[in-house]
Amino acid sequence: MSAQRRAYYDRIAAHGLTPLWEVLGALVPPSPRSPAQPALWRYAELRQYVMEAGEVITAEEAERRVLILENPGLRGQSCITQSLYAGLQLILPGEVAPAHRHTQSALRLVLDGEGAYTAVDGERTTMRRGDFIITPAWTFHDHGNLGDQPVVWLDGLDIPTVRFLDAGFAEKAATHTQSVARPEGDALARYGSNLLPMDYAPKPADPTRVFVYPHDKTRVSLQAIASAGAPDPHLGHKLRYVNPATGASPMPTIAAFTQWLPAGFETRGLRSTDGTIHVCLEGEGEAEIAGTTYRYAENDVFVVPSWHTLKLRASRDAMLFSFSDRPVQQALGLWREERL
Ligand code: 1HN
């Protein structure tokens, strides 16, 4: 750079100015260049460290005893993609994770053990493996383990999105454990049975009042469509979780999906602008992400960053759960997908 330019940059810097022409290409790239990297977390390797966290700290002291799955390209930022956070949470028999609420939206995918519950706004749901559970923004939630086994689930939150917008609020509840206001199954009966209460009129972006999508029901649907026809070449048999009252995503900032890949099936390449976190609930296979192949097995988590081409293979019948910020991008007119 010429001495004249250098001196000019230095002089304007003192006035809070910087030249656009030095950064324009990086600011407006021709296609997304995510700093996030593809990565896979192998549950069989991680489980011992998750269990060890139970010896290091109690759920109560930790408030939430979680090991964050940190993207290797985003170390120190507590996120798995630029917009989403993911972690593995452990709760031991007899423990309680105290009630609180925050403007960040959260999802849980139950992976290991049974006997725990999550309570959302006064209703408990028993956590069974594969259940997809949500705690929408600003709903009080606590977890407890009434059983005799450690229970582990994956948490997904929109923490980086809320941080980006500087819109985070949080508070602790007055009591550790919410009192039970309604029997288990109440929300599913009222809002999740092709029926709605007479006076219920949700706004388009309202989260669903259904806060558990039971694994067994989801699996029955996937099995039915898998036996009824051929898989989509790019998706296999894939369905999105919805707010049944609106057809929108369960929560406004996070989309979630379930997918069945028959043994031997391989998807064609697909890329989309929503960086996506996948969890293998059943079976095993390979994920080829921008040319690198990762083997996945039960409870493994892998992340596909924005605009990275994904090909999925199943060596045994595989069931995958996934989530992303797709509804945010769609609301803003930004979401793109390319089927190769
Ligand atoms: C949270 O509330 C939970 O409720 C889990 O289980 C993880 C990470 C950051 C902030 C809040 C939970 C969280 C969290």
What is the share, in percent, of the chain residues with pLDDT greater than 90? 99
Q: Could you tell me the pTM of the whole model?
A: 0.97
**pLDDT of 198:** 98
Where are the chain's structural domains?
33-339
**Segment 146-164 mean pLDDT:** 98
Distance between CA 21 and CA 63 in Å, rounded?
47
**pLDDT of 317:** 98
Q: Which residues are within 8 A (CB) of 54 and not within 5 positions of it... i.e. 6 or more apart?
A: 65, 90, 92, 150
pLDDT tens digit sequence for 251-309: 999 999 999 999 999 999 999 999 999 999 999 999 999 999 999 999 999 999 999 99
**pLDDT of 141:** 98
**pLDDT of 306:** 98
CATH superfamily label, 33-339:
Jelly Rolls (2.60.120.10)
Residue 276 CA to ligand 1 center (angstroms) comes to 19
Nearest CA to 156 among 214, 247, 88, 63?
Answer: 88
**pLDDT of 7:** 98
**Segment 144-156 mean pLDDT:** 98
**pLDDT of 308:** 98
**pLDDT of 35:** 98
**pLDDT of 212:** 98
Residue nearest to atom 13 of ligand 1 (CA): 64
**Segment 135-144 mean pLDDT:** 98
Nearest CA to 275 among 327, 326, 233?
Answer: 326
Average pLDDT, the chain: 98
Q: Name residues contacting ligand 1 (CB within 6 A).
A: 64, 66, 87, 89, 97, 102, 106, 141, 143, 155, 157, 159
pLDDT tens digit sequence for 39-76: 999 999 999 999 999 999 999 999 999 999 999 999 99
Residue 175 CA to ligand 1 center (angstroms) comes to 17
Distance between CA 85 and CA 181 in Å, rounded?
30
